[in-house]
Amino acid sequence: MNLDDLPIRDDLRGKTPYGAPQIDVPVRLNTNENPYPPSPELVADLAEAVRAQAGELNRYPDRDATALRADLADYLGHGLRTEQVWAANGSNEVLQQILQAFGGHGRTAIGFEPSYSMHPIITSGTNTEWIQAGREEDFSLDPGKAVAAIEEHRPDIVFLASPNNPTGTAQPLATIEAILAAAPGMVVVDEAYAEFAREGTPSALTLLPAHPRLIVTRTMSKAFAMAGTRLGYLAAHPAVVEALLLVRLPYHLSTLTQTAARVALRHRAELLGTVDALRRERDATVTWLRSKDLAVADSDANFVLFGRFPDRRKVWEGLLERGVLIREVGPPEWLRVTIGTGEEMAAFRAALEGVL
């Protein structure tokens, strides 16, 4: 029997699953992870915290993850309280819960592409209709055009990734405010890469007090170097969190996940200490790529989109042959490289020079 023989939902027939290749190569710069592993002190602290919890694993976890949410609210600042913060297994699960609560059959969500490919996938997975709007040549958003698209389609949910994946583009607050003023439903600002933003790029968290239908999502997968933990979260009006409680599975966040995330938050000075190094490496990468006469999108994230290659597959393969894995994603002639350590970026530069 194969997949086609199963009575699977009609709208899933012929689809392919999300998947960045997980290939074992010396230099892995393809999934926007933080290249710095946790310190021995963090590992020891985590092992001790897990040991302390292990004797109680016969019990379900704290269903509402209250202590973790309090720690996340403290990290986010902006006067946020526990009841305004919600957490799940990665921000992908947070996004799915938002769609389960605010999307569904007969409802629509809009996004500005190229953007994070999971937004449309989670949208259609929850039986919500996806509406695709566009971006400018430089991947920025024209606020007038964004508002016009929202007024035309009246979507139930607006997705805005800022900084955007795969382009690295951040949105000015004025654009987000214009979208909030026009949107009839919920507005989700996906800030998975917020900590990497350049000086002077503020977070949409500052808009929360005046905008009860705004949701800002974050993750510990990137700046926090905790991708393996699977912990994403959001900040919103307390009523939004109440809505998500209606759709979340009971005990969705394991005791071990909650424990690991809280330990990571205690070590945030160390973990976020890698962010400055990564931002410097990113800016140097942008400058270097431009010195090679390549097109490079301005980036507020821990990756850089560059091109343009009439045959990008050939460039991607050439890099892979030299032991460097990047991502073939985004508009047809562009490639995306995640920022790694200084050594990894030197290997990337040497490999790309070999290919060019």
- Binding residues for ligand PMP, rule: CB under 6 A, are 32, 90-92, 116, 161, 165, 190, 192, 219, 221, 227, 232
Q: How far is the CB of 90 from ligand PMP (least distance, A)?
A: 3
Which residue, 272 or 355, has its beta carbon nearer to ligand PMP?
Answer: 272
Q: Name the residue among 15, 31, 157, 19 with its Cα closest to residue 95.
A: 157
Whole-angstrom CA distances from 240 to 99, 133, 157, 212, 259 are 12, 25, 13, 8, 25
Q: How far is the CB of 301 from ligand PMP (least distance, A)?
A: 8
Q: How far is the CB of 165 from ligand PMP (least distance, A)?
A: 4
Give the phi and the psi of residue 159 in degrees, each rounded to 5. Answer: -105, 135
Q: How far is the CB of 65 from ligand PMP (least distance, A)?
A: 15
Residue 305 contacts residue 296 (beta carbons within 8 Å): yes
Q: Which residue is nearest to ligand PMP (CB)?
A: 90
Q: How far is the CB of 48 from ligand PMP (least distance, A)?
A: 25
Pairwise CA distance, residues 337 & 34, whole Å:
12
Residue 160 contacts residue 190 (beta carbons within 8 Å): yes
Q: How far is the CB of 318 from ligand PMP (least distance, A)?
A: 24
Q: How far is the CB of 98 from ligand PMP (least distance, A)?
A: 12
Which residue, 87 or 296, has its beta carbon nearer to ligand PMP?
Answer: 87
Which residue, 90 or 103, has its beta carbon nearer to ligand PMP?
Answer: 90
Q: Name the residue among 97, 78, 82 with its Cα closest to residue 208.
A: 78
Q: Can you point out the beta strands (E) in the chain?
A: 27-28, 85-88, 108-112, 129-133, 157-161, 186-190, 214-219, 232-235, 295-296, 303-307, 324-325, 335-338
Pairwise CA distance, residues 330 & 308, whole Å:
11
Note the residue count of the chain.
Answer: 356
- Render 24-51 in DSSP notation, one character per residue: --SEE-SS---SPPPPHHHHHHHHHHHH
